[in-house]
A = this chain, B = another copy of it.
Amino acid sequence: MSNPKTALVISAHAADFVWRCGGAIALHQKLGYEVTVACLSFGERGESARLWKEGKSLDEVKAIRRKESENAAVALDVHDIQFLDLGDYPLDLGEEAQARVVDIIRAVQPRFMLSHSQYDPYNTDHMRTTEFVLTCRMIAQAWGHNPGEKVLGAPQLYLFEPHQTEQMGWKPDTFLDITEVWDKKRAAIECMEGQHHLWDFYTNVAENRGNHFRRNSGGQAGGRAAKYAEGFQSVFPRTVDEL
């Protein structure tokens, strides 16, 4: 395609893109988008407790987590998944990481981007990622950064659902119906073998967001029968031709 529809997910740790926006990924692939996922780390140190308890080495943990994420990406029909291997807890978000992510943004030219909540006292990797993404978005828009490259427009940045929404000050303003791709999301979730305790948690989330979708699309007077949904918070205002 000369001008495909594209989207970019920036995930602090390997599995974040699955729990938090797996439905959006699969749905937009179905809608003809090419969705790229950039995993800044494998979540190897901080989000792989079971593997460490089993005595795996760092390289083993990273390999296993990478494999799980690749499997999940396949389940979601991801167009491209990239692992930046920046280390986790904490992420190294220095100049080199910045240059790489700006390059990815410019290469993808996303119509919209997805990343973490702006506050997370449990996990500062998440909130630092979002500020980092805003900086990279800004650089990608600069005509003087690598002059000659195609500059970025003004894609929306959606913040996907964090683990404890209220503690993060995250407020969804957009619910997306993912009913038709739910099976793909559940399949991707089940690729995350070290985190069984979250499988049902995020299934519950999807069901309850489905309820919220129905409430906000008409409620008891005929809200649409979405069974599963995902919620997102927009950073930037929308520009529209009709309310």
Contact = CB atoms under 8 A, between A and B. Distances in A.
Given A89-B139, A171-B167, A219-B141, A242 B201 contact: no
Contacts of A24: 243
Contact of A177 (B157, B169, B173, B239): B239
Contact of A242 (B31, B166, B169, B207): B31
Interface residues of A, number: 90
Interface in A37-75: 44-46, 48-49, 52-53, 58, 61
A131 B128 CA distance: 11
Nearest to A128: B135
A82 interface: no
Contacts of A122: 138, 215, 236
Question: In the complex this chain forms, how many copies of it are found?
Answer: 6
A167 to B, nearest CB: 7
A166 B172 contact: yes
Contact of A151 (B164, B174, B220): B220
A136 to B, nearest CB: 9
Given A153-B218, A174-B238, A216-B154, A147 B52 contact: yes
A173 B173 contact: yes
A45 B212 CA distance: 21
Interface in A184-219: 197, 200-201, 204-205, 207-208, 211-213, 215-219
